[in-house]
Amino acid sequence: MEILVCVKRVPDTAENEIELNAEGNDIERDDLVYSVNEWDNYAVEEAIQMVDKHGGSVTVVTVGDEESEEVLRREMAMGAEKGILLSDDAFEGSDGKGVAAILKAAVEKGSYDLIMTGAQADEGYAQVGGMLAAMLDYPYASLVNSIEVGDGKLKVGREVEGGNIEMNEIELPCVLSIQTGINEPRYVGIRGIRKVASVEIPAMGASDLGIDAGSVGEDAAKVRRIDYFVPEMGEGAEMLEGSTDEIIDKLIELLKSKGGIK
Amino acid sequence: MAQIFAYILHSNGELDDSALELLAAAKKIDPDVDVTAIVTGSGIDDVCKKAAESFKTVWKIDSDALSYPNAEVVRKALLNMLPSDCFVLLPQDTFGMDLGPGLSVKMDSAFVGDVVDIEGVEGNTLKTIRQEFSGQVSTHVHCDVSAGAVINVRPGVFQPAEGQAGEVVDKSGEIGDVSAKRKFIEIQEAEVGEVDITKSEVLVSVGRGIEDEENLEMVFELAEAMGADVSCSRPIVDAKWLEKSRQVGTSGMTVKPKVYMALGISGSFQHMGGVKGNPFIVAINKNPKAPIFQVADVGVEADILEFVPELTEKIKEL
Ligand SMILES: Cc1cc2nc3c(=O)[nH]c(=O)nc-3n(C[C@H](O)[C@H](O)[C@H](O)COP(=O)(O)OP(=O)(O)OC[C@H]3O[C@@H](n4cnc5c(N)ncnc54)[C@H](O)[C@@H]3O)c2cc1C
Ligand SMILES: Cc1cc2nc3c(=O)[nH]c(=O)nc-3n(C[C@H](O)[C@H](O)[C@H](O)COP(=O)(O)OP(=O)(O)OC[C@H]3O[C@@H](n4cnc5c(N)ncnc54)[C@H](O)[C@@H]3O)c2cc1C
């Protein structure tokens, strides 16, 4: 099975406090630590496990700039065989559809049985997988948390409300968006990264992909982020202040009065 | 002004909470618009009647092929009957996430996912508000709606609107070809675990801030001292540190405790969506800007790894 996994480089929110820059038009990006979108690690792990069992190979692809190469290398250290960087000035400012259109062109340059994305990324749209599938006219299932390989088709579980699993049969080729928890992504150490440090990662631009530059990027984007802001907060929580001992005493009083300590 | 459609989810003959929230969102796009509700399924007369208590027009799309809302099948049916350039509103839940992005591609309209507020339409521009980075910052997002749009609305943020009664229009004859390459097989119910957190009165809930599996012990000690049960956020279950039956949230359990103590939980809408019944919420988090402090009653800015053992000691001394 030939599997393509789409991955995105995102700021690591577990590592960073997100703050606005002085102009208020973007977040402060200087000190941000970047990593692979959490969901995408699960997708890559799943792809590797499927290939281990059924043969084939895993390719990882990202739309980004040169710095995005590091996330491809990280996923290759996990076990993906090939990486492809899709990068071009013309891609900048693409909205979700722009990103999906660029990925579609890359899919058509190869021959894949299965395309995987994460269920969502840092911006929380949860859009690229479904758009890519519709553009390719492939069937799609989102929020997948189990995959069983059959003959020309897959049996996939979608995690729906309440933790229930919706079982589906889906024909190949298809696009799946992967939900966290489907597996336990393997750990990648410095050594693993070093091993793939010199592997060639081809970069492809608009002309390599046969994309009309006007159909992607900022000018084609129907959806635009105007600015970042911190909304006027409601009252919010009453913050307990003082020394740790004082805070604990206050907290215990409150918990007692609300029935929180039995 | 373009037509606005709201897709109505329903189960056991009842409208989903999202139905009237979508109506509220539609009114923010255009206060004067008559919103059309779309109800799909098989044997849906009663649900359609209920929808017609609040929506001016209800499209009944009744077919055995739609007895389960498989997004791939629903999309085909909708494409066979929706006018071009319209607005389609969906909830950002597991169905809306499945349907919305692909539908917008096929309709050649714009898509905005997980919208938390709508400021209105000016010319061909729809002005929405979204959040990024798990709610740490908000953004104004503008969208060109000259060819319509699919808007996925975050559940629970729009106050349910009061609608006006209307009528049911049977569109079942227009379904057309709905063959799809994805087939629904069955729903497998979530497993029941050793503790039933849906019945707990006091919950000590732990999130990714606990950092390490070994640190969970201090959370259980605190819970024991308080006489509480332990629940958690999704990353703790994903890491297989606790069983799924302890997960609070839209893809986990819905809990209704009196007191909910959130330790190292950021407060995502999928997590808080499982906390009902207006409990007294205590949040302990080292990031003063964590969104959980917006919904909590009482907050403590602290490192839980240091704070929790001290709190446990003091409670034991009582
Ligand atoms: C400088 C800059 C300018 C931007 N300008 C705009 C703009 O004007 N309008 C706008 O709407 N957005 C803009 N964006 C955001 C960008 O278009 C988003 O990456 C895109 O919309 C995907 O959205 P998402 O993060 O919500 O992905 P989701 O759809 O939530 O992600 C789901 C999955 O899709 C795949 N995926 C997502 N992005 C990529 C990628 N880049 N490469 C490979 N796979 C991917 C991953 O598998 C991911 O798990 C800009 C971003 C940057 C950095
Ligand atoms: C379809 C779908 C369904 C989902 N369903 C659910 C669901 O049912 N339940 C659920 O919980 N999530 C669900 N999620 C995931 C959800 O979006 C969030 O990713 C998740 O809730 C985050 O969990 P968290 O708050 O523990 O982790 P994070 O968001 O990483 O937050 C960790 C917090 O801990 C704080 N922290 C870190 N270290 C410390 C320390 N030492 N002391 C104190 N504080 C510390 C940080 O400041 C941060 O606020 C779902 C997502 C999707 C896409």
**Which bound ligand lies closest to the C-alpha atom of A93?**
1
Nearest protein Cα to ligand 1, atom 47: A117
Same domain membership, residue B74 and residue B30: yes
Of B143, B174, B205, the residue that ends a domain is B174
User: What's the A94 CA to ligand 1 centre distance in angstroms?
Assistant: 8
Same domain membership, residue B228 and residue B298: yes
**B13 belongs to a structural domain:** yes
> Which chain A residue has its CA at the smallest distance from B138's CA?
A229
User: What's the pLDDT score for residue B193?
Assistant: 84
- Could you tell me if the CB of B155 is within 6 A of ligand 2? no
Same domain membership, residue B98 and residue B169: yes
Instruction: Considering only the beta carbons, identify the residue of A165, A170, A252 that sits closest to B314.
Output: A252
Instruction: Considering only the beta carbons, identify the residue of A134, A140, A167 that sits closest to B185.
Output: A167
Contact A261 B315 (CB under 8 A): yes
Q: Which SS3 state, helix, strand or coil, does residue B99 take?
A: helix
**B223 belongs to a structural domain:** yes
Contact A97 B111 (CB under 8 A): yes
**B183 belongs to a structural domain:** no
Å from B33 to nearest chain A CA?
A: 23
Domains in chain B, number: 2
Look over chain B and give the mean of its residue pLDDT values, rounded to a whole number: 96
Contact A160 B100 (CB under 8 A): no
Same domain membership, residue B81 and residue B208: no
Homologous superfamily (CATH) for A2-220: HUPs (3.40.50.620)
Contact A252 B299 (CB under 8 A): no
Contact A127 B187 (CB under 8 A): no
- The ipTM assigned to this model is 0.95
Instruction: Considering only the beta carbons, identify the residue of B98, B132, B280 that sits closest to A124.
Output: B132
Query: What's the count of helices (H) and strands (E) in chain A, helices before strands?
Result: 8, 13
Same domain membership, residue B15 and residue B141: yes
* Contact residues, B window 12-41, toward A, CB-based 8 Å cutoff: none
Same domain membership, residue B129 and residue B217: no
Which chain B residues are within 8 Å of A128, Cβ to Cβ? 101
Residue B116: is its pLDDT beyond 80? yes
User: How large is the average pLDDT for residues B165-187?
Assistant: 96
- How would you classify the pairing of strands B4-7 and B10-11? unpaired
- Could you tell me if the CB of B285 is within 6 A of ligand 2? yes
Same domain membership, residue B224 and residue B122: no
**B122 belongs to a structural domain:** yes
Containing structural domain, residue B227:
197-317
Same domain membership, residue B160 and residue B204: no
Q: Within chain A, which residues score under 50 in pLDDT?
A: none
- Whether the upstream peptide bond of residue A139 has omega within 30° of 0, thus cis, is no
Residue B1: is its pLDDT beyond 80? no
User: What's the pLDDT score for residue A24?
Assistant: 78
Contact A169 B185 (CB under 8 A): yes
Of B174, B205, B220, the residue that ends a domain is B174
Q: What is the distance, to the nearest Å, from the Cα of residue B109 to the centroid of all Cα atoms in its chain?
A: 23
Same domain membership, residue B162 and residue B63: yes
Question: Phi first, then psi: what are they for B277, rounded to 5°?
Answer: 80, 15
> Which chain B residue has its CA at the smallest distance from A225's CA?
B141
Q: Which of A20, A42, A222 to mutate to test the interface with B (most CBs of B within 10 A)?
A: A222
Same domain membership, residue B258 and residue B120: no
pLDDT tens-digit series, residues A115-137: 999 999 989 999 999 999 999 99
Same domain membership, residue B294 and residue B170: no
**B269 belongs to a structural domain:** yes
**B281 belongs to a structural domain:** yes
Q: What is the distance, to the nearest Å, from the Cα of residue A195 to the centroid of all Cα atoms in its chain?
A: 24
pLDDT tens-digit series, residues A171-193: 999 999 999 999 999 999 888 98
Which chain B residues are within 8 Å of A157, Cβ to Cβ? 188
Residue B195, judged by CB atoms within 10 A of its CB (0-12, 13-18, 19+), counts as middle
Domains of chain A, residue spans: 2-220
Q: Domain holding B262: CATH number? A: 3.40.50.1220
Q: What is the DSSP annotation of B26-41?
A: HHHH-TT--PEEEEEE
User: Helix H segments across chain B?
Assistant: 18-29, 45-51, 71-79, 94-107, 216-226, 234-238, 269-272, 292-295, 304-317
Please tell me the pTM assigned to this model: 0.95
User: What's the pLDDT score for residue A19?
Assistant: 84
User: Helix H segments across chain A?
Assistant: 38-54, 69-78, 96-109, 128-136, 190-195, 206-209, 217-220, 244-257
